Amino acid sequence: MAKKEKPLLNYLVYLAIRIVVAALQAMPLEAGKSLARGLAWLIYKVDKRHRQVAHENLALAFPELAEDFPARDRIVRKVLEHFCTLLIEIVHLPRIMNSRNWRKFLDLGDSPIIVDALLKNRPLMIVTGHFGNWEMAGFSLGLLGFTTHAIARTLDNPHLENFLRSFRERTGQKLLAKKGDFDQMTNILAAGGTIATLADQDAGPRGQFVDFFGRPASTHKAIALLAMEFNVPMAVVGVPRVGKPMKYQVVCEDIIDPQEYEGRPDALHAITQRYTSALERMIRKYPEQYFWLHRRWKHQPPVKKSKQPQAA
């Protein structure tokens, strides 16, 4: 059933968010970060549901913390502070980072690997997760002259969708709708283009189940399928915070070439497992920079029913 359109409400929500964004941009960055710490404290106090989800996820991912509530709680608080700070930084990003000063904010630690992959005469998929500052990656590649296409969910509010799109595309990055732009994705890859995608979301009961922190996690099949069909190398990338006030580093944890799996009957599972394991390795180094607030293990593989012995 289609959602009922609410044009006036959509516009009022958009207007309110534009006012908030303008106020944050007018605020010095350090003042905004102080506000982020206060907002993180408030969310911790009032949002019990997501706080509990984060605790449950951390207990599953790190069994040594299962009985150590204070240690988990410290990470949960740091996670909230990181993402509230990230919001402030993203709002300020277009005003303070440009093609002349980007080195002040970004350390291209693994840049030779990534640049080599971008310059090869083959398409490329950049695979990342809700980790570090994933928006910084697309923004920075645009500043450096690389055209990339990021897969994103289209917002229900058309005013906010247009605002966010113009915000994210201002340095040359292009957005593709998660639903509806599949043909365009295949055309881009067939033409040797670059697509970036978040690969750490629960894919439902029919997803590809792979190991993530020692537990089956439902993962979308399309990423590995596209890589296999169009012979697309995959760069598993993260952009963790490595310094203050706003310093990030590009980390390329793995380069996966689907040609290595040609002819293997388990290629889909093997590729999906490999990039998921690469994401896990990065998250283990910076657990406070991962979005533990979503239910990554929401769906589990169906339990196989044991055969009942037949009566004699």
pLDDT for residue 1 is more than 60: no
* H-type alpha helices, the chain: 7-26, 29-46, 48-61, 69-96, 111-119, 134-143, 158-168, 182-190, 222-229, 267-285
137 with 272: CB under 8 angstroms? no
Q: Calculate the CA dihedral of residues 219, 223, 225, 229 and round it to 10 degrees.
A: -170
Q: What is the pLDDT of residues 198-212, one digit of tens each?
A: 999 999 999 999 999
> What gap in Å lies between CA 104 and CA 121, rounded to an integer?
31
Asked if residue 2 has pLDDT above 70, the reply is no
Which pLDDT score is estimated for 305? 67
> Residues of the chain with pLDDT > 90: what percent?
72
Stronger pLDDT, 292 or 122, i.e. the higher one: 292
**Distance, CA of 121 to CA of 180 (rounded, Å):** 27
**Stated pTM of the model:** 0.91
- Around Cβ 278, how many Cβ atoms within 10 Å? 25
What is the number of other CB atoms lying within 10 angstroms of the CB of residue 225? 16
> Which tens digits make up the pLDDT trace of 46-78?
999 999 999 999 999 999 999 999 999 999 999
State the Cα–Cα distance between residues 295 and 306, nearest whole angstrom.
Answer: 29
Tokens for 282, please give them.
Answer: 């990065």
